[in-house]
């Protein structure tokens, strides 16, 4: 029997999901047991780990993600190097879970995004959208002996979509409610929301990237404090945000662009950070105030982004937060102020560790690929039609 048919016929699978986000600080790996598929999907988390990149590798990834400093030779090499580190994460999670790699049925690997160009452009007479995730899935499949699904964004983009966000399908499967209007908020390098009105159908889901999550804060911390992030939001809590600087930053066109939309380092990378630093100097702001303003920008653009949905901010019953930003007390305090009529909670309260959500999502999306289910939401990504996501690398 062909290995794909054998896997398709399994009602219950052990799946590893792998994700490394725009913060580029390491690899999240989730080992889950998945039963069935589609709207009948049931997920049990067995083990979750974060496998950090070496600092030198992280710095190199940040460099090659910027057009002016990238090198095709480095990208070629790092496609393999990142795959090797993903392999290390797989071995580590199996060791910690005391599960033999031979017992794993499937791997879903998002890879490491180094560039994302979601808007249509004319290139040599062809209208295209493009994205690049490195960490070769064929390397992972060949070396583990486990069927691996990767390159999840490409099929959506081939149908005219932005290839993001993809998490809303996962949110719909596991968090739709007949009782509450829910907003699922993930704060990684970029912040994104999934709006799930009570008793919604898949076609009712609205989702998009609101703008920066931790990305700008982290980069400012590197430049001002030689630290990779603002631990627990402590620096931001010592400062006060500048209304003047915040208003200037809010003039950026992305914040007024209607969904479907997605963003990344192209919008909120070093150029945006340099703008903040320059304006901060002009306004004679302290370093703490600059970090506080960047933090308020993240929270404010999340709250303001809701205006593009089918709910008003006041109609949100539950704001459910995941991702690294959920650990930032300054962000969480600002969200509770801005969503004063909502229950602001973390996804941990739903028995899902917030840091594990995206890795779990790509395990679920890999299962949907194997089962032949279309897992993009065209209304969310802008694609012309639903698509089966991912490319399958056989072992």
Does the fold of domain 167-341 match that of domain 3-164+356-393?
yes
pLDDT for position 265: 85
pLDDT at 262 over 90: no
Please indicate whether residue 323 or residue 172 has the higher confidence score (pLDDT). 172
pLDDT for position 266: 85
Region 241-260 average pLDDT: 96
**What CA–CA distances, in Å, run from 211 to 87, 161, 223, 265, 310?**
31, 18, 21, 10, 19
pLDDT for position 231: 96
pLDDT at 22 over 80: no
Q: Residue 208 — pLDDT band, cuts 50, 70, 90?
A: very high
Which residue ranges make up each domain of the chain? 3-164+356-393, 167-341
- E strand or H helix at 63: helix 55-64
- Read off the pLDDT of residues 148-207 as tens digits, 9 standing for 90 and up: 999 999 999 999 999 988 999 999 999 999 999 999 999 989 999 999 999 999 999 999
How buried is residue 3: exposed, middle or buried, by Cβ count under 10 Å (0-12/13-18/19+)? exposed
Pairing of strands 190-196, 182-187: antiparallel
What share of the chain has pLDDT > 70, as a percent? 100
The CATH T-level fold of domain 3-164+356-393 is Nucleotidyltransferase; domain 5 (3.30.420)
167-341: CATH number: 3.30.420.40
pLDDT at 220 over 90: yes
Region 20-40 average pLDDT: 93
- Read off the pLDDT of residues 276-319 as tens digits, 9 standing for 90 and up: 999 999 999 999 999 999 999 999 999 999 999 888 999 999 99
Dist CA 213 CA 303 (whole Å): 12
């Amino acid at each position: 029997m062909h290995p794909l048919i054998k896997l398709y016929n399994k009602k219950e699978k052990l799946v590893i999901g792998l994700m490394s986000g725009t913060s580029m600080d390491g690899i999240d790996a989730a080992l889950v047991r998945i039963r069935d598929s589609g709207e009948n999907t049931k997920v049990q988390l067995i083990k979750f780990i974060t496998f950090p990149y070496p600092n030198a590798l992280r710095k190199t990834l940040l460099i090659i993600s910027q057009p002016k400093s990238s090198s095709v030779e480095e990208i070629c090499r790092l496609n393999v190097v990142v795959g090797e580190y993903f392999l290390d994460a797989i071995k580590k999670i199996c060791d910690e879970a005391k599960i033999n790699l031979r017992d794993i049925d499937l791997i879903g690997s998002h890879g490491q995004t180094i560039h994302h160009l979601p808007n249509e452009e004319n290139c040599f007479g062809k209208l295209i959208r493009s994205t690049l995730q490195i960490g070769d899935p064929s390397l992972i499949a060949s070396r583990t002996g486990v069927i691996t699904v990767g390159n999840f964004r490409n099929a959506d983009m081939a149908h005219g979509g932005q290839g993001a966000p993809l998490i809303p399908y996962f949110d719909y499967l596991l968090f739709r409610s007949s009782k509450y209007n829910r907003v699922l908020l993930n704060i990684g390098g970029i912040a994104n929301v999934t709006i799930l009105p009570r008793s919604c159908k898949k076609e009712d889901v609205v989702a998009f990237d609101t703008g920066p999550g931790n990305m700008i804060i982290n980069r400012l911390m590197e430049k001002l404090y030689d630290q990779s992030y603002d631990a627990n939001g402590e620096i931001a809590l010592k400062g006060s945000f500048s209304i003047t600087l915040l208003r200037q930053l809010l003039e950026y066109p992305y914040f007024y662009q209607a969904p479907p939309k997605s963003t990344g380092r192209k919008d909120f990378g070093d150029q945006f950070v340099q703008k903040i630093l320059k304006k901060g100097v002009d306004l004679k702001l302290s370093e703490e105030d600059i970090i506080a303003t960047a933090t308020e920008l993240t929270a404010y653009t999340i709250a303001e982004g809701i205006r593009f949905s089918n709910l008003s901010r006041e109609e949100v019953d539950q704001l459910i937060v995941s991702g690294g930003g959920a650990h930032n007390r300054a962000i969480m305090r600002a969200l509770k102020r801005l969503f004063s009529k909502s229950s602001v909670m973390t996804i941990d309260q739903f028995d899902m560790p917030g840091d594990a959500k995206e890795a779990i999502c790509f395990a679920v999306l890999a299962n949907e690929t194997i089962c032949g289910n279309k897992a993009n939401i065209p209304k969310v990504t802008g694609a012309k039609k639903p698509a089966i996501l991912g490319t399958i690398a056989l072992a």
